[in-house]
Amino acid sequence: MKCFQHVADIGDLKAALDEALEVKKNRFAYQHLGKNKTLLMVFFNSSLRTRLSTQKAAMNLGMNVIVLDVNQGAWKLETERGVVMDGDKSEHLLEAIPVMGCYCDLIGVRSFARFNDKQEDYEERIFEQFKQYSGRPVFAMETATVHPLQAFADLITIEEHKTCPRPKVVMTWAPHCKPLPQAVPNSFSEWMCATGYDFVIACPEGMELDERFTHGATITHNQDEALQGADFVYAKNWSAYRDPNYGKIINRDMSWTVSAQKMALTRNAHFMHCLPVRRNLVVTDDVIESPRSLVIPEAANREISAEVVIKRMLESM
Amino acid sequence: MKCFQHVADIGDLKAALDEALEVKKNRFAYQHLGKNKTLLMVFFNSSLRTRLSTQKAAMNLGMNVIVLDVNQGAWKLETERGVVMDGDKSEHLLEAIPVMGCYCDLIGVRSFARFNDKQEDYEERIFEQFKQYSGRPVFAMETATVHPLQAFADLITIEEHKTCPRPKVVMTWAPHCKPLPQAVPNSFSEWMCATGYDFVIACPEGMELDERFTHGATITHNQDEALQGADFVYAKNWSAYRDPNYGKIINRDMSWTVSAQKMALTRNAHFMHCLPVRRNLVVTDDVIESPRSLVIPEAANREISAEVVIKRMLESM
Amino acid sequence: MKCFQHVADIGDLKAALDEALEVKKNRFAYQHLGKNKTLLMVFFNSSLRTRLSTQKAAMNLGMNVIVLDVNQGAWKLETERGVVMDGDKSEHLLEAIPVMGCYCDLIGVRSFARFNDKQEDYEERIFEQFKQYSGRPVFAMETATVHPLQAFADLITIEEHKTCPRPKVVMTWAPHCKPLPQAVPNSFSEWMCATGYDFVIACPEGMELDERFTHGATITHNQDEALQGADFVYAKNWSAYRDPNYGKIINRDMSWTVSAQKMALTRNAHFMHCLPVRRNLVVTDDVIESPRSLVIPEAANREISAEVVIKRMLESM
């Protein structure tokens, strides 16, 4: 595996899940793979779960880890050719990225959507440049449009908790006070559509995601209807994708908050969220604290999804 | 050992000191304990000595170490239930702390007194939440009210330098330009009271510490009298503990600065301070630079106290 | 080796280069040297290449690495004796540096020229204090006046690409929009003068470097003449060294930018630069992207120069 960005990159999902469960049982069994290998984690944005879980996964595999926090203000990269670089950008990406590749064997990149330019975000300009110029296998630690380590961890969690072969999984939009990227719902949808699950997305009108990620999902604007019979409820806020509202908050409807009343419509569903979550906006205290909440197991599985991805990259070197 | 916060947590002091001297002689002898174990160091406040010495101790024991700097501005944690989280706090501690526990085996926490609310500080709200919700053994890397790794290192240093079984140890308040927490003097007092030493605290009137930490100490407002016959002089500033002056500077008396003249009153005492120290405010240049100064050996013993604590936590897993 | 600062510290250059090529072929062969040894990297200034390459080199050698970022604003060190420390400086270097030495076996220091006081910069007050007070071997990761890890990497790169025993190497000043330190050109010149190469420095009048570093070089103000017959062109900006212009930009002449037209004057020379570089100011896009550009191999050799230096320090312990 040279790149981990989309669900297709992981290949057969059944094989990936089997490997995840094997890794989870014995997470220190593969240290020969990582000996004298170095992971470079590049963060253009801050991180708690991704930072800790990915570092842990790499150390489980016996790797050395270097973490590079790129302060967006302090280190701006020029991306165009022909520019006289007499402004605030002190280095060109055509030098910076190959240099980073010199000192490691594997690169993880976090670079969020900036919401300045939809095309720039959805073309994944930063991540693609790492793929093209670093000379190393590269994996997404949440990019402008995807967060596949989260989606893979969510899938592992559903497989561990499902009680029927083809559960009903509902991803529902929920209100939030800040404009959030679409990376998590894009990837969750992309991964769910690749399973055989009954997958439904509920969101207000105008809040539909990019169809490249939702192809195969049932999309509805009626949250209550969607929740009926659900086995898993995955709550998430995202800002608008559709023009002319890209990156904007166009809906603050608090009736979409996932509450006990809403959960009562389901088939005693598990509650899921990628975290961090704003309580009593996205979900009420009682739902997230209930025994059916999987938010901590999901987070714990981030170590496992990262370890499978890094293990595969090491194996294919 | 599941928690390291108070002197009682370390159990028998003689046994702990013997272990410390053993560890100091051969600090790399216990690496089987730390293999495939991860220490997470969480800093809500900045650090030099604690950061370096604790990391060194964990690496001596063969552990992996992850350092998490929590920028107070960037990541504010909600602590109450029922709040609609539409403000500046993007995560609730009820999620954040268990998640941190997922990715490690052991947690060290630094979280200073904020001086906003005495009860909040002295109830150790942050540290107690880590104990309660992380699911991991937790040790204090200086909390709102205690700094036991420092006190243990100071005790080791005194044991290495004492020339009689029951030395006279004087902790004296000294002036400072900023309001400092009581964590270091609280712990030093608590640990000294647990030894058989002749332990005296000298401070201006109104500057007395919480009696829970000073029970058993001789407390005086006469510094000169206290210093007579002292074998060890431990200088430290702290802000007022007593109401209504909690966290305030109520005394700037420069006659309390530890000078050569003051040291002349002692029995050729050793000078001690936890560092960092403001020279010519807390202590004069000549005293801290004299051959009787132990400030560097104290700092060096921070590696040893941390290693004993982490070793014991690893052993009890 | 107890200190790595000047070319003389590395001893015989032929032996050092042989060792570098040996290390490059088998960079993991010396891990017994670093076992249970800790490198402390202290950064008073930000870093990309030096941070990553030095950390990689130390891990290649089996060492533990601790990185300490000293935020200049947050942690100011008092350097004078006798001062009442009631201002913004909370610690004296006479404590801070020995304490850092307590927790490691080896120290790397980055501390740039501040351009406040030429004498302070050229006396290397920060770096010298680490040498004097840390009790550990110390190496420069770019100081106020030198950057020997870069110069050594550049020398390795030239040796790998030269086609005659005594190539013509031209270091040429180039324009820039910010006042840059002289550390890189000082060290490059010092190292080149220690080889048997034909070494020429081209710079505008008034931009001459400190003669302690350029003794033995041919110095000219005619760039075109210098470039004729060159095998290697090393472009670099620096601010004025000579009084009364120390640290100032006194020339912005864009005719000094290294362009294809300039390179055409050479003997099909390789282009070199230490990075980061401002394109179309120091060098044009086409020159830095041409097959004759060595900027990435130079950066990659930073890992090798650092590994040789750290290896020698470990061997002499």
pLDDT digits (tens, 9 = 90+) for B46-64: 888 999 999 999 999 999 9
Chain C nearest CA to B83, separation (Å): 34
Chain A nearest CA to C78, separation (Å): 27
| Domain map (residue ranges) of chain A | 3-146+301-315, 150-298
The answer to whether the CB atoms of C91 and B289 lie below 8 A apart is no
Average pLDDT of C225-252? 97
Question: CA–CA separation, A274 vs A290, rounded Å?
Answer: 16
Which chain B residue's Cα is nearest to A28?
B36
Average pLDDT of C78-83? 86
Residue B275 with chain C: CB contacts under 8 Å: 91, 95, 99
Per DSSP, the residues of chain B read: --EESSGGGG--HHHHHHHHHHHHH-TTTTHHHHTT-EEEEEESS--SHHHHHHHHHHHHTT-EEEEEE--TTT-EEE--SS----SSEEEEHHHHHHHHHHT-SEEEEE----SS-HHHHHTTHHHHHHHHHS-S-EEESS-SS--HHHHHHHHHHHHHH-SSSS-EEEEEE---SS---SHHHHHHHHHHHTSSSEEEEE--TT----HHHHTT-EEES-HHHHHTT-SEEEEE-----STT-TT------GGGSB-HHHHTTSSSPEEE--S---BTTTB-HHHHHSTTB-HHHHHHHHHHHHHHHHHHHHHT-
Burial class, C194, CB count within 10 angstroms (exposed 0-12 / middle 13-18 / buried 19+):
middle
Chain B nearest CA to A81, separation (Å): 35
| Structure tokens, C72 | 């200049």
Q: Which amino acid is at A291?
A: P
Angle (CA) C97-C102-C108 rounded to 5° is 60
Chain B nearest CA to C98, separation (Å): 7
Residue A53 with chain B: CB contacts under 8 Å: 102-103
Which chain A residue's Cα is nearest to B94?
A289
pLDDT given at position C199: 98
Residue C277 with chain A: CB contacts under 8 Å: 91-92, 95
Angle (CA) A242-A246-A252 rounded to 5° is 90
Angle (CA) C222-C224-C226 rounded to 5° is 70
* Segment among B78-82, C19-23, C111-115, C156-160 with least mean pLDDT: B78-82
| Structure tokens, C171 | 């270091």
Average pLDDT of C103-116? 96
Residue A82 with chain C: CB contacts under 8 Å: 280, 285
The answer to whether the CB atoms of A279 and B68 lie below 8 A apart is no
pLDDT given at position A74: 45
Q: Are C221 and C187 in contact (CB under 8 A)?
A: no
pLDDT given at position C75: 61
Q: Are B142 and B112 in contact (CB under 8 A)?
A: yes
Q: Give pLDDT tens digits for A117-159.
A: 999 999 999 999 999 999 999 999 999 999 999 999 999 999 9
> Most C CBs within 10 Å: which of A99, A100, A105, A133, as the mutation test of the C interface?
A99
Topology of domain B3-146+302-315, per CATH? Rossmann fold (3.40.50)
The answer to whether the CB atoms of C279 and A92 lie below 8 A apart is yes
The answer to whether the CB atoms of C75 and B48 lie below 8 A apart is yes
Average pLDDT of C131-154? 98
Helix, strand, coil % (nearest 5) of chain C? 40, 15, 45
pLDDT band at A80; cut points 50, 70, 90: confident
Radius of gyration of chain C (CA): 20
Question: CA–CA separation, C257 vs C251, rounded Å?
Answer: 12
The answer to whether the CB atoms of A46 and B94 lie below 8 A apart is no
B312 HSE (CA, 13 A, CB side): 19
pLDDT given at position C273: 98
| Structure tokens, B182 | 């009581």
pLDDT given at position A71: 67
Question: CA–CA separation, A17 vs A23, rounded Å?
Answer: 10
Residue A276 is nearest to which of B81, B82, B91, comparing CB atoms? B91
pLDDT band at A70; cut points 50, 70, 90: confident
B181 annotated as belonging to a binding site for a ligand: no
Note whether A88 contacts C: Cβ–Cβ < 8 A: no
Note whether B296 contacts C: Cβ–Cβ < 8 A: yes
Nearest Cα to Cα of residue C313 among C99, C59, C134, C136 = C136
Q: Which amino acid is at C86?
A: D
A47 annotated as belonging to a binding site for a ligand: yes
Residue A305 falls in which region: left (phi positive, over 0), alpha (psi -120 to 50) or beta = alpha
Homologous superfamily of C150-298 in CATH?
Aspartate/ornithine carbamoyltransferase (3.40.50.1370)
Question: CA–CA separation, C85 vs B176, rounded Å?
Answer: 9
A238 annotated as belonging to a binding site for a ligand: no
pLDDT band at A72; cut points 50, 70, 90: low
Task: Report the SS3 class of residue A26.
Answer: coil
Radius of gyration of chain B (CA): 20
Note whether B64 contacts A: Cβ–Cβ < 8 A: yes
The answer to whether the CB atoms of A46 and B103 lie below 8 A apart is no
Phi, psi (rounded to 5 degrees) for A149: -65, -35
Which chain B residue's Cα is nearest to C38?
B56
| Structure tokens, C229 | 């017959």
CATH class of segment(s) A3-146+301-315:
alpha beta
Q: Give pLDDT tens digits for C268-281.
A: 999 999 999 999 99
C75 annotated as belonging to a binding site for a ligand: yes
Q: Chains touching chain B at 3 or more Cβ pairs under 8 angstroms?
A: A, C
pLDDT band at C73; cut points 50, 70, 90: very low
Residues with Cβ within 8 Å of residue A18, at least 6 apart in sequence:
none
The answer to whether the CB atoms of C49 and A99 lie below 8 A apart is yes
Note whether B300 contacts C: Cβ–Cβ < 8 A: yes
Question: CA–CA separation, A287 vs A281, rounded Å?
Answer: 12
| Structure tokens, C241 | 């060294």
C161 annotated as belonging to a binding site for a ligand: no
pLDDT over 80 at A75, yes or no: no
pLDDT given at position C148: 98
Q: Which amino acid is at A261?
A: Q
Q: What is the mean pLDDT of each run of 10 residues along chain B (317 residues)?
A: 97 98 98 98 90 97 92 67 89 93 97 94 95 97 98 98 98 97 98 97 98 98 98 98 97 97 98 97 97 98 98 97
A13-25 vs A295-315: helix crossing angle, rounded to 10: 100
Q: Give pLDDT tens digits for A13-69.
A: 999 999 999 999 999 999 999 999 999 999 988 888 999 999 999 999 999 999 988
pLDDT given at position B73: 43
C48 annotated as belonging to a binding site for a ligand: yes
